[in-house]
Amino acid sequence: MNMNKLGWNEVLQKEYDARLLNLQNENEAKQLERLFPGRIALEQKNLYNVFTSEGEFKAILADKLWFNAFDRQELPAVGDWVLLSNEDGCEQLKIQKIMERRSTLSRQSIASHGRKFDKSGTSEEQVVATNIDTVIMVIALDFDYNLRKIERYLTLMWNSGADPVILLNKADQCANPEELKMEVEAISYGIPVHTMSAVTGQGVDELKKYIAPGKTITFIGSSGVGKSTIINQIIGEEVMEVGDVRDADKRGRHTTTHRQLIPLASGGNVIDNPGMRDIKIIGNVENLNLTFPDIVELKKHCRFRNCQHETEPGCAILQAIADGDLTEKRYKSYLKLGRELAFLHHRKVHRQIFNKNAKSKQKILGTKIKQHK
Ligand SMILES: Nc1nc2c(ncn2[C@@H]2O[C@H](COP(=O)(O)OP(=O)(O)OP(=O)(O)O)[C@@H](O)[C@H]2O)c(=O)[nH]1
Ligand SMILES: [Mg+2]
Ligand SMILES: [Zn+2]
């Protein structure tokens, strides 16, 4: 495989070369020397598919990587560049190390799943995909269209470090796609918004502009919005499985069950994702402010610096709502997402303390085991 098309670049090469600096002993040098890079294409219950310069292979986690991971974020995700070893007598390659992530799209995982890695009992970050250049949120212009949902996704997308794009699909099912596009543009402040139909192919050329050798794009959105159909349109072939939507409410049936990185013949890479259910945001106030620049600006114009925007005279937010420049729904959405982020921050701090304690306990345990040997 051509590694540059897959996304390998100078920064990664530097990191790779640096593995041989500051080595402790010859043994370590020998071990590190034989590691080679690969990119995670698929994950299925701790069994991975990786692309290397030699092709596609199965890989498993090295014991050390597994043992040292306290958060799921510390395990490989689709899109990751990893360092691999090929050991005698082992059918699969072994993933020894995750290389530094250039961007990370994550969400809050649903705590009720009782994840093995949720050792602290708090909700945790679930890495959706990494090393992405452009993250494209797909909204279907039929059942799925909802401005509040777009605001929620935008906060998540700003947190990723990848460039956000909004794609309004199923334009063929909608009487006024251009009107809705303008409505979305009014709340997305300069983020590109496109309309398309993955069935007729209308708008696909505009989308192809985001694809370039070495670049990676990913599609996120609810089940049934057409993510896999769009990818098939881009490729020009039925590569991804596509599922019917339910008759009653036009929602999808969760056809795509695994994230998957697909290298395109032209040299770009696409990651398909399973449909997201009820998405929980992740991030910080900065991401929220990027999603709501209008509200950030308005707040600066309140008469009182500590204005709570409830009943105060000279409140620019209340004035904007009264004038119809800001909808109450949008302001409420801002407050709601802000509350969610504050709650999340609280849990995260708790979790960091827990992990720190657990890690030091593990160290002590490790030393004791060594002493016993
Ligand atoms: N009319 C119309 N139907 C579309 C369009 N795009 C996708 N569909 C249909 O929507 C259904 C769902 O498409 P998928 O591509 O499987 O949706 P998905 O987002 O990948 O769904 P999951 O894999 O479940 O997350 C299929 O029946 C597609 O044919 C479109 O632009 N217009
Ligand atoms: Mg799909
Ligand atoms: Zn105010």
Q: Is 301 in the pocket of ligand 1 (CB under 6 A)?
A: no
Averaged pLDDT of the chain: 89
| Other CB atoms within 10 Å distance of the CB of residue 293 | 11
Q: Is 204 in the pocket of ligand 1 (CB under 6 A)?
A: no
Give the pLDDT confidence score for residue 370 in this predicted structure: 57
Give the pLDDT confidence score for residue 112 in this predicted structure: 37
Q: Which ligand is nearest to the CA of 274?
A: 1
User: Quick one: pLDDT band at residue 372, thresholds 50, 70, 90?
Assistant: low
The 3-state DSSP class for residue 50 equals strand
Ligand 3: distance of its center to the CA of 341 in Å? 21
The 3-state DSSP class for residue 283 equals coil
CA-to-CA distance for 192 and 162, rounded, in angstroms? 13
User: Percent of the chain, pLDDT > 90?
Assistant: 65
Residue whose CA is at the smallest distance from ligand 1 atom 8: 226
CA-to-CA distance for 13 and 9, rounded, in angstroms? 6
Q: Which one is predicted more confidently, 141 or 372? A: 141
Among residues 94, 34, 82, the alpha carbon closest in space to that of 58 is found at 94
Give the pLDDT confidence score for residue 247 in this predicted structure: 76
Residues 6+ apart with CB under 8 A from 359: 70
Q: Is the pLDDT of residue 373 over 60?
A: no
Among residues 154, 149, 162, the alpha carbon closest in space to that of 288 is found at 154
Helices (H), 284-327: 285-291, 293-299, 316-323
Q: Which one is predicted more confidently, 36 or 282? A: 36
Helices (H), 209-254: 227-235
Q: Is 221 left (phi over 0), alpha (psi -120 to 50) or beta?
A: left
> Which two tokens mark 96?
């020894």
- The mean pLDDT value for 87-109 works out to 91
Give the pLDDT confidence score for residue 119 in this predicted structure: 46
Q: Is 203 in the pocket of ligand 1 (CB under 6 A)?
A: no
> Which two tokens mark 141?
């212009």
Give the pLDDT confidence score for residue 115 in this predicted structure: 45
The 3-state DSSP class for residue 105 equals strand
Give the pLDDT confidence score for residue 371 in this predicted structure: 59
Which of 112-126, 240-254, 289-303, 347-361 is the most confident on average? 289-303
Ligand 3: distance of its center to the CA of 299 in Å? 6
Give the pLDDT confidence score for residue 203 in this predicted structure: 96
- In ligand 1, the atom with minimum distance to the C-alpha of 229 is 15
Q: Is the pLDDT of residue 266 over 60?
A: yes
Q: Tell me: the pLDDT tens digits for 324-351?
A: 999 999 999 999 999 988 887 777 677 6
Supply angle C-alpha 77, 99, 353, rounded to 5. Answer: 75
Kindly report whether the global pTM for this prediction surpasses the value 0.85: yes
Ligand 2: distance of its center to the CA of 270 in Å? 13
Q: Is 332 in the pocket of ligand 1 (CB under 6 A)?
A: no
Poorest-confidence range of 7-11, 276-280, 287-291?
276-280
Give the pLDDT confidence score for residue 281 in this predicted structure: 78
Q: Which residues line ion ligand 2, judged by CB < 5 Å?
A: 227-228, 255-256
CA-to-CA distance for 249 and 223, rounded, in angstroms? 12
The 3-state DSSP class for residue 224 equals coil
Contact of 159 with 304, CB cutoff 8 Å = no
Residue 190, Cα to own-chain centre: how many angstroms? 21
Q: Is 233 in the pocket of ligand 1 (CB under 6 A)?
A: no
